């Protein structure tokens, strides 16, 4: 199957990935008021990225997305911990949240909460862990197949 060019898979993947990423962003922003948040948003983003890796191949995607997903894990954990510790600066208990309504240019009248910062940390951590696990399994499997072919 080396060198296959599945046009239908690649075309539908491109469309589906944008839908998944859009819904992922919606769930992320809705998470502090409704079901959703950083965890499910991160899983959906990782799912969209995995779909791209399956459709276009590991080598092609590695050229396009030059990101080491392992770096997302400490960044996400740092954001989540700093969000919790930040409440101490205002004399509040750990992980206390504050919220308010803002007028944003594109989104209009929006409700924002500090819980979104914690969700952002969770989002980065989930994307980092999920993509690291899946890509390391894929890399091991690819090396296994390569060793079978070579010898």
CB 58 within 8 A of CB 131: no
Output the DSSP codes for 54-103.
HHH-HHHHHHH----GGGHHHHHHHHHHHHHHHGGGGT--TT---EEEEE
- What tokens were used for 17? 């990935």
Q: How far apart are CA 151 and CA 146, in angstroms?
A: 9
121 or 86, higher pLDDT: 121
Kindly report the number of other CB atoms within 10 A of residue 135's CB atom. 19
56 or 2, higher pLDDT: 56
Average pLDDT over residues 45-65: 91
Tell me which residue has tokens 């959906």. Answer: 44
List, as own/partner pairs, every contact residues 6-14 make where C-beta atoms lie below 8 angstroms and the sequence separation is at least 24, other chains included: 6/55, 9/55, 10/55, 10/56, 13/51, 13/52, 13/54, 13/55, 13/56
Output the DSSP codes for 25-50.
HHHHHHTTTSS--HHHHHHHHHHHHH
pLDDT at 146 over 50: no
- Beta-bridge partners for 99: 113
Least confident of 77-81, 94-98, 108-112, 144-148: 144-148
pLDDT at 33 over 80: no
């Amino acid at each position: 199957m080396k060198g296959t060019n599945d046009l239908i898979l690649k075309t539908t993947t491109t469309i589906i990935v944008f839908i998944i990423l859009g819904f992922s962003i919606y769930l992320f922003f809705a998470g502090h008021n409704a079901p959703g948040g950083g965890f499910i948003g991160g899983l959906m983003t990782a799912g969209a990225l995995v779909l791209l890796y399956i459709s276009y191949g590991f080598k092609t995607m590695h050229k396009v997305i030059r990101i080491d997903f392992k770096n997302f894990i400490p960044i996400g954990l740092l954001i989540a911990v700093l969000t919790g510790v930040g409440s101490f600066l205002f004399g509040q208990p750990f992980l206390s949240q504050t919220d308010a309504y803002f007028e944003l240019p594109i989104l209009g009248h929006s409700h924002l909460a500090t819980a979104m910062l914690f969700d952002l940390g969770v989002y980065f951590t989930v994307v980092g862990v999920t993509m690291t696990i899946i890509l390391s399994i894929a890399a091991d499997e690819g090396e296994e197949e390569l060793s079978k072919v070579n010898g």
